[in-house]
A and B are shown apart, each in its own frame.
Chain A
Amino acid sequence: MSHSPLLSVRDLSKHFTIRSPFRGTTIGTVQAVNRVSFDIGEGETLGLVGESGCGKSTTGRLLLRLIEPDKGQVLYEDRNLLQLDAVELKKIRKSIQIVFQDPFSSLNPRMTVEEIVNEPLYVQGGLSRKEMRERAQALLDKVGLNSAHITRFPHEFSGGQRQRIGIARALAGEPRFIVCDEAVSALDVSVQAQVINLLKDLQEEFNLSYLFIAHDLSVVRHISDRVAVMYLGEVVEIARKDALYTAPRHPYTQALLAAIPVAHPRLRGKRARLGGEVSSALNPPPGCRFSQRCPIARDICRQEAPELRDMGERHQVACHFAEDTRAAAA
């Protein structure tokens, strides 16, 4: 594994301005993604978790410039994706792909599987019709679909199969990096496990890097090497998954983990629950954004936003009291 990461995100921000629908005056700013930084190594999976509205999907889309970021840097193979012009971006997009959540709306119902899987190849050009068909068949084989079904339409497949088509399409350009945006969330558990295994197999075979966005903490634990936790547009903790799940440092991570249902009825018991709900990302509070719900918040938390600090062994935490929470977690 090389020393410099494949993808390096620095201070990525996206703020949406909300205007009054009638007067056009600015009502406020939603800080959907605020100063997010992380690295993803070659062949590595970074899990990105958080509750709805925390900006995890927006982050995924910003990386691909499906939404244009306001500020920050996305270094991919040592080039800043945010400074590329349209031609260069098109070239590089081949190797950065995305798999979406909803296998029903992310495939065009009027295109055959072959057309869907080949679309990235059309766009890139340079292959004959025959080569493309062979390539599509090989891709379907790869994702565990019958390559004879290449002329079928999406509605003829089940949810799990459609998600496999989405994965085949992402693989068409021979990517090095794939954003999986809630890629298994809509699937039934028995099918979900199959797709998770498929993603792991493909990663091993092609040395892929994943940004795996999900709200299901157990799935993220299973598939990731490292995990980043987001709250209201900001990353509050990043760590290797074992460290994060066994010794979380940020009070929000601790609360999230405590909310996972128990694995066995005998393990039931009262656990600390997080009160309140996610506050609005519209005009967030000064200081730490979690301070309103945080059980250990003090005055400094309401005044000063904590920086993401490295606590050693690549464990980064954005909390003024990260040193104290270690003792509490242990």
Chain B
Amino acid sequence: MTRTDPILSIEGLSTSFTGDEGTVVAVDDVSFDVNEGEIVGLIGESGSGKSVTALGIIGLLPKDTARVTAKRIMFDGRDLTQASDRELRRLRGGSIGMVFQEPMSSLNPVLKIGDQLMEPIRIHERISRRAAFDRGVELLAKVGIPSPAQRMNDYPHQLSGGMRQRVMIAIALSCSPKLLLADEPTTALDVTIQAQLLDLLLEIQAETRMAIVLITHSMGVIAECADKVVVMYSGRIAEQGPVTEIFDRPGHPYTRGLMQCTPELTGNPRRLTTIPGSLPSLSALPPGCRFAPRCDLALDACRTGRPPMIGLGEKHASACIRATELVTRSMLPEGAEA
């Protein structure tokens, strides 16, 4: 494998769930690459399939209801679709770290911070308790927790939300992962704490060169840290590309809509431009482009057949048949230099 190969390469990932009311497709033919040292922002509204995509990659969806299929999921030279449960388990918490949204529910309330931090280290690296403890203290210090040796003996409820999320990050980093899947890591936190944690992630990432898939619903978080953006809508990729490209020349009406209805991105108009309607239900998806019913640029052709990905530049592609027309309009905010 050459150095230029992406660390994670997903091709044709689909996920469906079967329940009492039939089968819904939550993720539909999603493909993207994550390079070493790159932060890929996966953005979308609730139900767009961003978390399911991440969970599908590492086999964390319930086997009895979820069906994950993919042409290939290449991670570090290995195809995860062919990996056994045992192999996947070795990867999770090892070369693939995970951070979830809810720092309250993703830590075990009856185990000490130290035990939870040492568990993955001892499973993946088979080192002594003493050595694992020392590593744990080191990790807590690295993620900015004051008096880390004492905190090792604390229970999760003794820490604030921000501190718990720092512990989660420390656990995710414990085995020096090559890839970190961060699912809305700052959503439940206050802005000042969010800013601290994003800075922390960027700092660690710069030092270790690990790749990060950052799932978020906030365009601001994307603007703040992503190198590449994947915009999801209703289980499909609407647009993907380098972050400055996406912000300067959004090539999908949904991406444009997302930016226009986020108050911080628009300065201060009297009325916000809105996207009419709401996300379609997965059990009643429109034919053709899934955004068409809410799109003011939709043509008849949009309502039949899935729109193809149209290339708009190097690594920038949009699933909109009017993409080329759209990118000619630039959206630079005041103060930004082109």
Q: Which residues in B have their C-beta under 8 angstroms from that of A142? A: none
> Does B275 contact A190, Cβ atoms closer than 8 Å?
yes
Q: Interface stretch among A63-71, A175-183, A194-202, A297-305? A: A194-202
Q: Which residues in B have their C-beta under 8 angstroms from that of A51? A: 190-193
User: Nearest Cβ in chain A — how far from B39, in angstroms?
Assistant: 11
A 217-256 contacts with B by CB, 8 A: 217-219, 221-222, 255-256
- Chain A positions 37 through 57: 1 when the CB is less than 8 Å from some CB of chain B, otherwise 0: 000000000000001100000
Given contact pairs A188-B279, A258-B195, A277 touches B220 in the complex (Cβ within 8 A): no
> Does B220 contact A265, Cβ atoms closer than 8 Å?
no
* A148 is an interface residue with CB less than 8 A from chain B: no
Instruction: Please measure, in the bound complex, the distance between the C-alpha atom of A261 and the C-alpha atom of B41, giving whole angstroms.
Output: 14
Interface range for B: 35 or more
> Does A189 contact B258, Cβ atoms closer than 8 Å?
yes
> Does A215 contact B191, Cβ atoms closer than 8 Å?
yes
The answer, among B198, B226, B268, B271, for a CB contact under 8 Å with A200, is: B271
B 262-318 contacts with A by CB, 8 A: 262-265, 268, 270-276, 278-279
Given contact pairs A189-B258, A197-B271, A218-B263, A264 touches B247 in the complex (Cβ within 8 A): yes
* A330 is an interface residue with CB less than 8 A from chain B: no
Q: Which residues in B have their C-beta under 8 angstroms from that of A111? A: none
The answer, among B219, B247, B274, for a CB contact under 8 Å with A194, is: B274
Instruction: Please measure, in the bound complex, the distance between the C-alpha atom of A10 and the C-alpha atom of B130, giving whole angstroms.
Output: 58
B 19-55 contacts with A by CB, 8 A: 45-46
The answer, among A52, A192, A255, A261, for a CB contact under 8 Å with B221, is: A261
The answer, among A191, A219, A258, A275, for a CB contact under 8 Å with B263, is: A219
Instruction: Please measure, in the bound complex, the distance between the C-alpha atom of A192 and the C-alpha atom of B266, giving whole angstroms.
Output: 14
> Does B336 contact A221, Cβ atoms closer than 8 Å?
no
* B194 is an interface residue with CB less than 8 A from chain A: yes
Total interface residues on A, using CB and 8 Å? 40
Q: Which residues in A have their C-beta under 8 angstroms from that of B278? A: 158, 160-161, 188, 190-191
> Does A266 contact B336, Cβ atoms closer than 8 Å?
yes
* B61 is an interface residue with CB less than 8 A from chain A: no
* B158 is an interface residue with CB less than 8 A from chain A: no
* B236 is an interface residue with CB less than 8 A from chain A: no
* A19 is an interface residue with CB less than 8 A from chain B: no
* B244 is an interface residue with CB less than 8 A from chain A: yes
* B335 is an interface residue with CB less than 8 A from chain A: yes
Q: Which residues in B have their C-beta under 8 angstroms from that of A266? A: 244, 247, 336-337
Instruction: Please measure, in the bound complex, the distance between the C-alpha atom of A190 and the C-alpha atom of B255, giving whole angstroms.
Output: 11
* A193 is an interface residue with CB less than 8 A from chain B: yes
> Does B263 contact A221, Cβ atoms closer than 8 Å?
yes
Q: Which residues in B have their C-beta under 8 angstroms from that of A52? A: 161, 190
Instruction: Please measure, in the bound complex, the distance between the C-alpha atom of A91 and the C-alpha atom of B192, giving whole angstroms.
Output: 41
Given contact pairs A193-B272, A196-B272, A265-B223, A273 touches B217 in the complex (Cβ within 8 A): no
* B218 is an interface residue with CB less than 8 A from chain A: yes
- Chain B positions 186 through 227: 1 when the CB is less than 8 Å from some CB of chain A, otherwise 0: 000011111110110000000000000000011111111010
> Does A193 contact B247, Cβ atoms closer than 8 Å?
no
* B12 is an interface residue with CB less than 8 A from chain A: no
> Does B193 contact A218, Cβ atoms closer than 8 Å?
no
> Does B224 contact A262, Cβ atoms closer than 8 Å?
yes
> Does A193 contact B224, Cβ atoms closer than 8 Å?
no
Instruction: Please measure, in the bound complex, the distance between the C-alpha atom of A218 and the C-alpha atom of B269, giving whole angstroms.
Output: 12
* A268 is an interface residue with CB less than 8 A from chain B: yes
Instruction: Please measure, in the bound complex, the distance between the C-alpha atom of A267 and the C-alpha atom of B333, giving whole angstroms.
Output: 10
> Does A264 contact B223, Cβ atoms closer than 8 Å?
yes
* A263 is an interface residue with CB less than 8 A from chain B: yes
Instruction: Please measure, in the bound complex, the distance between the C-alpha atom of A278 and the C-alpha atom of B336, giving whole angstroms.
Output: 33
The answer, among A188, A200, A221, A274, for a CB contact under 8 Å with B217, is: A188
> Does A263 contact B337, Cβ atoms closer than 8 Å?
no
* B173 is an interface residue with CB less than 8 A from chain A: no
A interface with B by C-beta (< 8 Å): 51-52, 158, 160-161, 188-194, 196-197, 200, 215-219, 221-222, 255-256, 258-268, 273-275, 277-278
Sample of 14 further A-B pairs with CB below 8 A, known A189-B261, A221-B263: A188-B46, A188-B278, A193-B262, A193-B273, A217-B264, A218-B262, A218-B263, A259-B195, A262-B224, A265-B224, A265-B247, A266-B244, A273-B199, A274-B192
Q: List 27 A-B contacts (CB under 8 A).
A: A158-B279, A188-B45, A190-B257, A190-B279, A193-B261, A194-B274, A197-B274, A200-B270, A200-B271, A215-B190, A217-B264, A218-B262, A222-B263, A255-B192, A256-B191, A259-B194, A262-B220, A263-B220, A263-B333, A264-B247, A265-B226, A265-B243, A266-B244, A266-B337, A268-B224, A273-B196, A274-B192
